[in-house]
Amino acid sequence: MVLADLPLSERDPALAALIRRENELEATTLRMIPSENYASRAVQEAAGSVLANKYSEGYARKRYYEGQEIIDEVEELAISRVKALFGAEHVNVQPYSGSPANLAVYLAFCNAGDTIMGLSLSSGGHLTHGHGVSITGKYFKSISYGVRRSDHRIDMDEVRALAHEHKPKLMWAGTTAYPRALDWAAFREIANEVGAILAADISHISGLVVAGEHASPVGIADVVTSTTHKTFRGPRGGMIMCDQKHASAIDKAVFPGLQGGPHNATTAGIAVAALEASTPEFKRYAKQVVENAKVLAAALGEKGYAIVTGGTDNHLVLVDLTPKNVTGKVGAKALDKAGIVGNYNTVPFDPRKPFDPSGLRLGTPALTSRGFGTEEMLQVASWIDQVLTAPADEAVQLRVRNEVAELCAKHPAPGLVT
Ligand SMILES: *Cc1c(COP(=O)(O)O)cnc(C)c1O
């Protein structure tokens, strides 16, 4: 056998062992980072396929390379499925990920130095919505809106006042650590009042939107961006949806504006994910994601944790650990040792620093993919409380980790090698 035909386990045993260990970790722990999920075996097969060998700059039927007859069909299939799912007039599936998708929106509608508006990172917004460390905060004049002190919800009065004061060219509505639904129509009204382009970023919630568990901004916002790997449960990638009138600006911004050749294997994975998201099974999945988050929020609330906004409308819960005298980082690290993987996170108006903030961000998409329901979420809440009540107690962590592994064994995660 030639070297190029050897399986990974023989060609590169060291790397193969690392993948096996990650597989084991994902199989035996509770993955509660809200942006993570388990892509199906079919999605992974497509995303790891020979389609990645191809170079195909351009768009279907308008390529700069020959030999594209199959790639064109793959991309058209992905686009038509995503269009049907979201009811979008135009779809671009080429962005390499969520951040490049957002950059394409800037390039399509703004010039350097223009004023843009987005939710601040500390209120649950994304870096690419104008944060100072991001190119989007460096190359544009970035105005941030936040959440209200009283209820930690986005303050639409503040959004309106800032929009009227600064007249942004582009307004972002989208979140990465915010447990509540967004009022797309209210954002649209404000954007209209000041003549701004409205961009909705549904990176976290696109799976919920497809299933009708979160209202859709498609047809309301001028442009909608999303990752494909969070609740949408596809391969790592990005996509942009818009009305026909913005199609050419968006397509030109992605290629040749920002990127070279599209990642065709990823495109194929997106096509598979879109097929999966069109099923009744996925609808039930998304409904359970939200239900599970509500159960988790209520259970932790009853145990004395401060739940930001008092609950959740989506797939994530933001927990303020202050009442328990544990910091976010200490809490997240203790939970990690117990096999419960989340991330420390700032809470609104956090008196602590982002590197060791007051909160934890916990999500239910991955747990729900492995079939967890109410009963399991109550058990998870109990384990979280046991660990956080004694964050230095390694015996508790070890016991919980074993119990977690037992429950995981009863609910095998999809797409893993067993
Ligand atoms: C995750 C996320 C992104 C960025 O996605 P990457 O694929 O990590 O680049 C952009 N916007 C929001 C709201 C996100 O949650």
Segment 402-411 mean pLDDT: 98
Does a structural domain hold residue 28? no
Phi-psi category of residue 320: left, alpha or beta, with phi > 0 → left and psi -120 to 50 → alpha: beta
Give the per-residue pLDDT at 372: 98
- Do 81 and 199 lie in one domain? The reply is yes
Token pair for 123: 């209120």
Q: Is 376 found in the same domain as 296?
A: yes
Of 123, 227, 318, the one to substitute when testing ligand 1's pocket (max ligand atoms within 8 A of C-beta) is 227
Residue 1, pLDDT > 90, answer no
At 236 the pLDDT is: 98
Secondary structure of 139-195 as H, E, C letters: CCEEEEECECCCCCCECHHHHHHHHHHHCCCEEEEECCCCCCCCCHHHHHHHHHHHC
| Average pLDDT of the chain to the nearest whole number | 97
How many CB atoms lie under 10 A from the CB of residue 382? 15
Distance 126 CA to ligand 1 centre (A): 7
296 in the same domain as 264: no
Q: Is the pLDDT of residue 360 over 90?
A: yes
Do you find a cis peptide bond into 323, omega within 30 degrees of 0? no
CATH number at residue 130: 3.40.640.10
Q: Is 347 in the same domain as 238?
A: no
Are 256 and 110 part of one and the same domain? yes
Range of the domain at 124: 46-277
Residue 417 pLDDT > 90, yes or no?
Answer: no
Q: What is the pLDDT of residue 170?
A: 98
| Spacing of C-alpha 188 from chain mean position | 23
Domains: count for the chain: 2
pLDDT > 90 fraction of the chain, expressed in percent and rounded:
98
Distance 286 CA to ligand 1 centre (A): 19
Same domain, 269 and 301: no
Are the C-beta atoms of 380 and 5 separated by less than 8 Å? Answer: no
Residue 371 has pLDDT above 80, yes or no: yes
Bridge partners of 226, per DSSP, are 239
Strands 223-227 and 197-201: parallel
User: From edge to edge, which strands make up the β-sheet containing 197-201?
Assistant: 90-92, 238-242, 223-227, 197-201, 170-174, 115-119, 141-145
Q: Which residues line ligand 1 (CB under 6 A)?
A: 35, 97-99, 102, 126, 128, 174-176, 201, 203-204, 227
| Same-domain status, 273 and 301 | no
pLDDT tens column, 72-94 = 999 999 999 999 999 999 999 99
Q: Give 120-143 pLDDT, tens digit per residue.
A: 999 999 999 999 999 999 999 999
Mean pLDDT of 407-417: 96
CA atoms of 171 and 198, how far apart (whole Å): 5
| Tens of pLDDT, residues 259-271 | 999 999 999 999 9
- Residues 401-406 have a mean pLDDT of 98
Which of 33, 134, 176 has most ligand 1 atoms within 8 Å of CB, for mutation?
176
Q: How many CB atoms lie within 10 A of CB 398?
A: 13
DSSP 248-307: HHHHHIIIIII-SS--HHHHHHHHHHHHHHTSHHHHHHHHHHHHHHHHHHHHHHHTT-EE
Average confidence (pLDDT) over 168-195: 98
User: Which of 119, 110, 168 lies closest to 139, judged by CA?
Assistant: 110
Q: How confident is the model at residue 111 (pLDDT cuts 50, 70, 90)?
A: very high
pLDDT at residue 418 above 80? no
Spatial CB neighbours of 187, under 8 Å, sequence gap ≥ 6: 156, 159, 171, 173, 198, 200, 220, 221
Mean pLDDT value across residues 229-253: 98
Quick check: 158 pLDDT over 80? yes
Note whether residue 8 is domain-resident.
Answer: no
Catalytic, 230? Answer yes
